[in-house]
Structure 1
């Protein structure tokens, strides 16, 4: 297996640190628009090489794949670059993995009631082409989406005879402080992606169809395990809701994120001021003018998520709350989860827990593909594969998962 890792940011760098301890691949080319960043991430292992790439250009992806005889493209950049990277991998004859899916577009008339272009629609439209070529595009293979979708497959196969709701619930008690120990606003994941997820109309699967609702709707208090405790969670647009019902029978599928009131207020202000927009505006730059995206500016002025680990403390939890009937037909309510402590990942890998938790799952998936344990063709989500080998290997990596009855 020869892997092209597209993106050497927080998740990409964590990916290289985790993969360096495994022997299932021959080589990894770490590629980024900033070649210095790629070189830094690649320096930790002699099997790694660094390169510059323009992820907005499918031709750039294809050329690098052909140059390095790449068999698998691992996409670790913001989802705005999913489709060029996806197409570039196909043109090069490589298989493809990402940790999100192609972007959505709200319904032009009824954005908070009806779906427009859904997450993943562009990729699933190419499913037959990938399948006919005997090639695999494994989409949504991070932690959420990703591990949560593996949990859905496991719950359907081993815990439940009938599923009422697949409810992804994500929460944390993470705190980032400044040099004086004061808590500061510093998102632990890509701010560009966070804005996209949180301000788009959330999608809900219910009774055989997808519909949308208003951002931050249906607030609930969810009690997260391992000391995190109660966190208010709200509806957010996320890939699981678009993936799980394709392979797992359920009456309802939701995604709720424990954002917290201060974070929600910041997002609302950004939206009110138009600072969430991706449309470029003309601004003064020295004696002239330049065009910039307001959202890119917001992301640029905040701390890089890859750098906040030393000033972060706490745990993050990704999981799936499943309700329905157990294998004996009795009511069951179960939370399958994965908790990561920032202190542990910083000590053992030098990367903060949120990016590390995201990155470990595609490494596990790639190892299963390299072994032949997982195989397939077309555009597939994690639900399309046997969950047990994945969960066993995740535990072997030293990061066990848990189950809590609710």
Structure 2
């Protein structure tokens, strides 16, 4: 529910990355099918986020977790969604319709310019928005399936960062802080010998508890919220989760 005061549209992250993640075809994994691409902003659903953030419209976007998780975790379906909200989605659709997401150069009165470069130059630098931002950002994993006793269960494990806290304690806005600390903690665990990767490995493949414990070292927390599991059948193919 982050709001940037003084701007009608001000992405809290690089517009280049935002365009590529949101306008590229998202990848979905399904057991028996494998990976496949779908349309941008597909499978919209409203999710009620914790700690006062509230309901936000979420849609599929392109992200590496969908490629990494099924390689090691036996799942029925894996998706990755952003809570963008209807207004943000409409703006991105308009950017695409106008061709402002293009990277090839066009001639503007004798000047060669990339439409996406022009768009990025026209928007505020996300790194400078922290003092204008209010609200919280949430990242989490919704896991649905059968528990160890074979009963339907759905849980949401998440981390919430309040922009006021991240600016006060670290001098960085919430989205940047939450993005940066994940790989930093992973590198710490590798350097300490807790995680021992061999070759190219995804962070999702390692024991999660050391990572979760590290969050507390930097003043943030994680929580598990029970979700509605009434629509989960008692028998799923291979007993898998999503």
For the criterion TM > 0.5, the same-fold answer is yes
| 1:176 equivalent in alignment to 2:4 | yes
Structure 1 residue 340: deviation in Å? 0.2
Q: 2:71 aligns with which of 216, 240, 246?
A: 246
Match of 2:37 in 1: 212
Structure 1 unpaired stretches of 5+? 1-172
Structure 1 residue 207: deviation in Å? 1.6
Deviations 1:147-189 (A, max 9, x none): xxxxxxxxxxxxxxxxxxxxxxxxxx000112xxxx5211001
> Is the 8 Å Cα contact of residues 224 and 231 (structure 1) preserved in structure 2?
yes
The number of equivalent residue pairs is 226
> Is the 8 Å Cα contact of residues 190 and 197 (structure 2) preserved in structure 1?
no
Measure the CA separation in 2 of the matches of 1:281 and 1:327.
58
Match of 2:203 in 1: 382
Match of 1:28 in 2: none
Runs of 4 or more consecutive aligned structure 1 residues displaced over 6 Å after TM superposition = none
| 1:340 equivalent in alignment to 2:155 | no
> Is the 8 Å Cα contact of residues 157 and 222 (structure 2) preserved in structure 1?
yes
Q: Alignment partner of 2:91: what SS?
A: helix
Q: 1:297 aligns with which of 96, 111, 118?
A: 118
Q: Alignment partner of 1:379: what SS?
A: coil
Structure 1 residue 346: deviation in Å? 0.7
Match of 1:117 in 2: none
Measure the CA separation in 1 of the matches of 2:113 and 2:65.
31
Structure 1 residue 282: deviation in Å? 2.7
TM-score by length of 2: 0.90
Match of 1:232 in 2: 57
Structure 1 residue 361: deviation in Å? 1.2
| 1:329 equivalent in alignment to 2:144 | no
| 1:317 equivalent in alignment to 2:142 | no
Deviations 1:315-337 (A, max 9, x none): 00001100011122211100010
Deviations 1:341-390 (A, max 9, x none): 00001111111000001111112111111111111221111122111111
Correspondence 1:3-82 to 2 at 5 A: none
TM-score by length of 1: 0.54
> Is the 8 Å Cα contact of residues 317 and 340 (structure 1) preserved in structure 2?
yes
Match of 2:27 in 1: 203
| 1:193 equivalent in alignment to 2:13 | no
More off after superposition, 333-342 vs 356-365: 356-365
**Root-mean-square deviation (CA), in Å?**
1.2
Structure 1 residue 280: deviation in Å? 2.0
Q: 2:80 aligns with which of 246, 255, 259?
A: 255
Deviations 1:16-49 (A, max 9, x none): xxxxxxxxxxxxxxxxxxxxxxxxxxxxxxxxxx
Structure 1 residue 291: deviation in Å? 2.7
Structure 2 unpaired stretches of 5+? 228-242
Match of 1:400 in 2: 221
Measure the CA separation in 1 of the matches of 2:143 and 2:133.
31
Structure 1 residue 203: deviation in Å? 1.2
Measure the CA separation in 2 of the matches of 1:281 and 1:326.
55
| 1:265 equivalent in alignment to 2:90 | yes
Structure 1 residue 276: deviation in Å? 0.5
> Is the 8 Å Cα contact of residues 21 and 61 (structure 2) preserved in structure 1?
yes
Measure the CA separation in 2 of the matches of 1:260 and 1:327.
35
Measure the CA separation in 2 of the matches of 1:243 and 1:272.
31
> Is the 8 Å Cα contact of residues 139 and 160 (structure 2) preserved in structure 1?
yes
Measure the CA separation in 2 of the matches of 1:363 and 1:385.
15
